[in-house]
């Protein structure tokens, strides 16, 4: 692989993920592909040993693992959109995302998404189903794929802004060329925002169609320390507040005021809502506290198994 230009570049950002980063990297390395790929990791000056684990893998797989290990934390200095430091050095035709506390579960994930994008050039973004590993509710379950996923161009962007759709960050796979076209707009809308993946998904959805594959090939980890974790109420509420401000600015910047106005009318409507927007349900501790015997069993199995074993078994749920 070292003498070939990668066709896919994996972007992974991490900070103090010592308990998770090994499983994340193993999920990258287990990928079986017909093409070369690279893994670009940006560590934002972790203090818990995360960087040392990354260096360990870099020494073993120097042609694949290509890290930036910061000495000073950029996020605390107000720098947002950390993924951009990986995107600047992308060589691949496509970019795949996965943050350091999440992980992939299917060794064919990259190949499946690559094949789809190659055969469907009208699509700018490809995602798929995921599992949720919830340390708060002690659950490990599939996050149900909705049957009414929008197929019309730009409709996903509208629903994303209105809170009716989720961008599944650890499943995102998109064209580097489309990102380059939208790059300046993405980082303009990311300024002062607590997140950047929403802006990336939004602008990619404006560039072409969005596909959600009905396959479960990654896991989102919902654990203490997560920005959306219900264990820190004030942290979560501040994140939601800042995220709404950022979304409003993005609507104004891109001529989508009507979409945002519609979203606000829904939130302020006196009529009883059957369900709150999906983005708010994701952040709700009540939503995540729903327990099933199956979810508890899978959570216990996960904790008892080794990293390599649970990856090889593809988490028992397939």
The full set of domains in the chain, from first to last, is 8-316 (3.90.550.10)
Provide the pLDDT confidence category of residue 279 given band limits of 50, 70 and 90: very low
User: Which of the pair, 278 or 220, is modelled with greater confidence?
Assistant: 220
User: Which of the pair, 244 or 301, is modelled with greater confidence?
Assistant: 244
- Mean pLDDT of the 15-41 span: 96
- Residue in 190, 308, 76, 30 with CA at minimum distance from that of residue 10: 30
User: Which of the pair, 256 or 148, is modelled with greater confidence?
Assistant: 256
Provide the pLDDT confidence category of residue 10 given band limits of 50, 70 and 90: very high
> Please, what is the average pLDDT of the chain?
84
- Residue in 192, 275, 290, 283 with CA at minimum distance from that of residue 237: 283
Cα Rg of the chain (Å, integer): 19
User: Which of the pair, 279 or 29, is modelled with greater confidence?
Assistant: 29
User: What CA–CA distance (Å, rounded) separates 233 from 286?
Assistant: 13
User: Which of the pair, 235 or 273, is modelled with greater confidence?
Assistant: 235
- The three-state secondary structure class of 88 is coil
CA angle 127, 314, 160 (to 5 degrees): 20
- Using CB atoms within 10 Å of the CB of residue 237, give its burial: 0 to 12 exposed, 13 to 18 middle, 19+ buried: exposed
Residue tagged 């654990």 (tokens): 223
Highest mean pLDDT among 117-126, 226-235, 253-262, 269-278: 117-126
Given a cut of 80, is residue 302 above it in pLDDT?
no
- Residue in 61, 68, 2 with CA at minimum distance from that of residue 41: 68
Q: Rounded to a whole number, what is the distance in angstroms from the first to the last CA of the chain? A: 30
Residue tagged 């979560």 (tokens): 236
State how beta strands 173-175 and 123-134 pair.
antiparallel
Provide the pLDDT confidence category of residue 315 given band limits of 50, 70 and 90: very low
The least confident of 165-174, 209-218, 224-233 is 224-233
Given a cut of 70, is residue 64 above it in pLDDT?
yes
- Mean pLDDT of the 275-302 span: 54
User: Which of the pair, 108 or 76, is modelled with greater confidence?
Assistant: 108
Contact partners, residue 276, CB within 8 Å, separation at least 6? 284
Given a cut of 80, is residue 109 above it in pLDDT?
yes
- Residue in 209, 214, 190 with CA at minimum distance from that of residue 200: 190
User: What CA–CA distance (Å, rounded) separates 10 from 37?
Assistant: 7
Query: The whole model's pTM is what?
Result: 0.86
Given a cut of 70, is residue 68 above it in pLDDT?
yes
Given a cut of 70, is residue 3 above it in pLDDT?
no
CB 189 within 8 A of CB 196: no
- In the chain, the percentage of residues whose pLDDT exceeds 90 is 55
Provide the pLDDT confidence category of residue 222 given band limits of 50, 70 and 90: confident
**What percent of the chain is helix, strand and coil (3-state, nearest 5)?**
45, 20, 40
- Mean pLDDT of the 81-92 span: 95
The least confident of 130-144, 175-189, 202-216 is 130-144
Provide the pLDDT for residue 308.
47
Provide the pLDDT confidence category of residue 291 given band limits of 50, 70 and 90: low
């Amino acid at each position: 692989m070292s003498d070939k230009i990668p066709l896919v570049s994996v972007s992974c950002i991490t900070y103090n993920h010592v308990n998770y980063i090994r499983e994340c990297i193993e999920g990258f390395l287990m990928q079986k592909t017909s093409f070369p790929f690279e893994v670009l990791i940006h560590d934002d000056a972790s203090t818990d040993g995360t960087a040392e684990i990354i260096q360990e893998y870099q020494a073993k797989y120097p042609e694949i693992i290509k890290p930036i290990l910061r000495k000073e934390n950029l996020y605390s200095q107000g720098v947002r959109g950390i993924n951009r430091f990986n995107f600047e050095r992308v060589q691949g035709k496509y970019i795949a995302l996965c943050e350091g506390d999440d992980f992939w579960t299917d060794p064919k994930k990259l190949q499946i998404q690559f094949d789809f994008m190659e055969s469907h050039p009208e699509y700018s973004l490809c995602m798929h189903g995921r599992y949720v590993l919830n340390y708060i509710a002690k659950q490990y379950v599939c996050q149900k794929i909705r049957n009414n996923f929008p197929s019309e161009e730009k409709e996903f962007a509208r629903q994303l802004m209105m809170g009716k759709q989720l961008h599944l960050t650890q499943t995102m796979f998109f064209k580097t060329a489309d990102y380059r076209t939208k790059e300046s707009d993405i980082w303009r809308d990311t300024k002062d925002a607590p997140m950047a993946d929403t802006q990336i998904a939004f602008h990619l959805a404006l560039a072409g169609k969005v596909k959600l594959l009905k396959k479960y090939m990654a896991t989102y980890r919902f654990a203490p320390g997560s920005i959306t974790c219900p264990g820190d109420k004030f942290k979560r509420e501040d994140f939601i507040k800042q995220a709404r401000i950022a979304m409003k600015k993005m609507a104004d910047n891109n001529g989508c005021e009507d979409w945002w106005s519609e979203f606000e009318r829904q939130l302020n409507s006196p009529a009883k809502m059957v369900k709150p927007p999906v983005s708010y349900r994701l952040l709700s501790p009540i939503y995540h506290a729903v327990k099933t015997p199956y979810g508890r069993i899978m959570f216990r199995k996960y904790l008892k198994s080794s990293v390599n074993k649970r990856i090889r078994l593809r988490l028992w749920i397939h």
